[in-house]
Amino acid sequence: MIAWPVGLGQNSELTKSCISTVLGPMVVVSDSEYVCFLEFLDGCRMGGKFEKLEKKLNAHIVSGETKPIESIARELELYFDGNLTDFKTPLRPLGSPFQILVWEHLSRVPYAQTRTYKSQAEAIGSPTSYRAVANANGFNQIAIAIPCHRIVNSNGNIGGYGGGVARKRWLIDHENRNA
């Protein structure tokens, strides 16, 4: 379930936790209802992301567990075991209205299928905005559950991925093996 409105409640407390996966550790951040951040923990890439999240939401991040964190951890385990194709943990991505629109359509790309940035731009009704769509995909901060890894270049090349191209290839291959 994805709650598409922009932002969480202001002056809130957010909780972060680390989840072990076969592709390396991931960091998840949630409030009491929604996951708003899920990315691979690559030390140099994390710099400043939590501070920006705290500032954007006027929130304080503490370590711990919440029901959404427990839910996404369970679902990621099932996903990586090849036993889950559709995430149900409540998600609330944080972004501009355009980014939210792109991510909403991105979440509709079926498991084990890929789309191009161009086809994603067409799906949102803006066929010439494929570069802006690619940029919005790059700002997705809820990896795997909002499946930006399923978007590839028009020429068939895999394209970029915030978690690294090797992880993107692994995720695409994993879904194809378990479809």
Ramachandran sector of residue 65 (left: φ over 0; alpha: ψ -120 to 50; beta: rest): beta
How far is CA 106 from each of CA 80, 97, 134, rounded to the nearest angstrom? 20, 14, 11
Dihedral of CA atoms 13, 5, 86, 125 in degrees, nearest 10, equals -150
Task: Pick the catalytic residue from 18, 36, 44, 148.
Answer: 148
E strand or H helix that includes residue 112:
none
148 labelled catalytic? yes
Amino acid at 93: P
Positions marked active-site: 148
